[in-house]
Amino acid sequence: MYRSQEPAETRFSTGTQTESMQGQVPRLSKVNLFTLLSLWMEVFPSSEDAEDKKKPQQIKKTGLVVVGNMKVIGLHCSSKELHAGQIAVIKHGSRLKDCDLYFSRKPCSACLKMIVNAGVNRISYWPSDPEMSLQQEISSHTDNGDARLDAKAVERLKSNSRAHVCVLLQPLACNMVQFIEETSLKCDFVQKITRKEPEFTTSSFYEYRQERIKEYETMFLISSEDMHKEILRLIGLENLCENPYFISLRQNMKELVLILATVATSVPSYSGFGFYLSKTSAEKHQSLTQDVARHCIIQARLLAYRTEDHKIGVGAVIWAERKSNLLDCDGTGSMYFLGCGYNAFPVGSEYADFPHMDDKQKDREIRKFRYIIHAEQNAITFRCHEIQPDEKTMIFVTKCPCDECVPLIKGFGIKQIYAGDVDIGKKKADISYMKFAELKGVSKYIWQQNPLSSCSDNQTDSTSMETDGRLKNKADDLDFNNKRMCFGKRS
């Protein structure tokens, strides 16, 4: 099923987030947000990717988002041994009942039979080359390959399943692409690079954004329209092969890939920039590789475009890292998802129930800050697992946590914070960011230039730099010392 009507939740409302977009703050629909997260999980950095690139694989790496009651309860990607659907069954079991699953590729029969049997409500997938690649067989002109046989089995399972197996893409809100371009350029991560590196300009941003677009189009789209139509027919989507449906489908897919590339470009590794320990942190070693840290913060950046705050969107994602390697069946390795959120009004409230004015209003009574639930608060509230005290728990936030959230983060037992530091030590009308710098017992990894990089030139801000911070993997040093743009490609 392909939906072409724009839902009410994607319509924009008044706001002041950017100058040229003043008066319009579009939102991502939940369907498109979950779709983008599934595509992004497909490129989760892992040591297996380098080996996979050396030889063509018939089984494509697949990302998966598990949604229960419209809340994300799992982010997964296939590993070398297990498919994404199989991992979902291992991780969630009977809890998959009545859940919605969003795949970055149509699942193969081995996965589909298990997740259908678990009683899922809906299985949505990206309408391109499926998990068991048909593109290779079409290119090589083989008529009785395993992928074609699997496609027939999948259709039979689909037709006899109570679960709704479909393509579920929705058109973007008006001006969504332009809005994401402008806010990506003005986000904390890009702005900090711009202030410290004058040669990083708007043209640089768009130049390397174009590189990401090409990379993701190769990965998520089929360049040949004829081949795309043939694959759609083989996976049971004949109704989308005729115009205008096919043209509309391709356009929506291209726009979503464009958005993903733009948001990914907003957290670049340029001239040694990455997440490094703040001066007040006690640790001496980097916990995660820069690729993984960037990947998780981009998840938070995607979530921020679901905000109900007119002025600024904030996203937060919580991950944990197991001590034991016995349960590392997921493509994310020892890391597993705990929860995510974005800033919004209380669940169930009507949009007009609360004030929407920002801090430019003189009357404090009609300001919104007392009513908005912060991204970190929503991530903690709607978590899908409890924190294990002996495991390392990390939160990735698109902005510096405010004084209202800092005690919550520490009290919840989170051991590491990855965030920007643009607002550290500042008070902005009713919002204070004074407690973050003084937070003890929680390691703070902030977006800054690599303290060991030769290109830092001693221009590091003493309030946000750790002079003896170092990378976990020495190979990363070689990448960051090379003064060029690197966008966290699969390695």
At residue 367 the predicted structure's pLDDT band, cuts being 50, 70 and 90, is confident
Q: What is the mean pLDDT of residues 460-476?
A: 37
Buried b (16+ CB within 10 A) or exposed e, 92-111: beeebeebbbbbbbbbbbbb
pLDDT of residue 370: 84
Mean pLDDT score across all residues of the chain? 84
User: Residue 432 — very low, low, confident or very high, per pLDDT cuts 50/70/90?
Assistant: very high
List, in sequence order, the alpha helices (H) in 304-381.
375-381
Q: Tell me what pLDDT residue 231 has.
A: 96
Confidence of residue 428 (pLDDT cuts 50, 70, 90): confident
Position 467 confidence tier, pLDDT thresholds 50, 70, 90: very low
Output the CA angle 24-169-70, nearest 5 degrees.
80
- pLDDT of residue 14 exceeding 50, the answer is no
- Which residues are identified as catalytic? 376
CA angle 247-248-250, nearest 5°? 65
| Nearest CA-CA partner of 182 in 420, 13, 19, 32 | 19
How many Å apart are CA 465 and CA 448, to the nearest integer? Answer: 7
Quick check: 327 pLDDT over 80?
no
**pLDDT at residue number 141:** 66
DSSP calls for 144-211: S-HHHHHHHHHHHHHHT-SSEEE----PPPTTHHHHHHHHHHTSHHHHHHHHH-TT--HHHHHHHHHH
- pLDDT of 325 reads 65
Q: Which region, left, alpha or beta, applies to residue 330 given φ > 0 means left and ψ of -120 to 50 means alpha?
A: beta
Q: Mark residue 488 as left, alpha or beta (left: phi above 0; alpha: psi -120 to 50; beta: remaining).
A: left
The sign of the CA dihedral 302, 308, 310, 314 is negative
CA–CA distance, 203 with 200 (Å, rounded to integer)? 8
Distance from C-alpha of 191 to C-alpha of 179, rounded to nearest angstrom: 17
Exposure string for 23-59, b = 16+ CB within 10 A, e = fewer:
ebbbbbbbbbbbbbbbbbbbbbbbebbeeeeeeeeeb
Q: pLDDT of 88-135, one tens digit each?
A: 999 999 999 999 999 999 999 999 999 999 999 999 999 999 999 999
Confidence at residue 426, expressed as pLDDT on a 0 to 100 scale:
92
Provide the pLDDT for residue 281.
Answer: 65
Using CA atoms, how far apart are residues 39 and 219, in angstroms rounded to an integer? Answer: 10
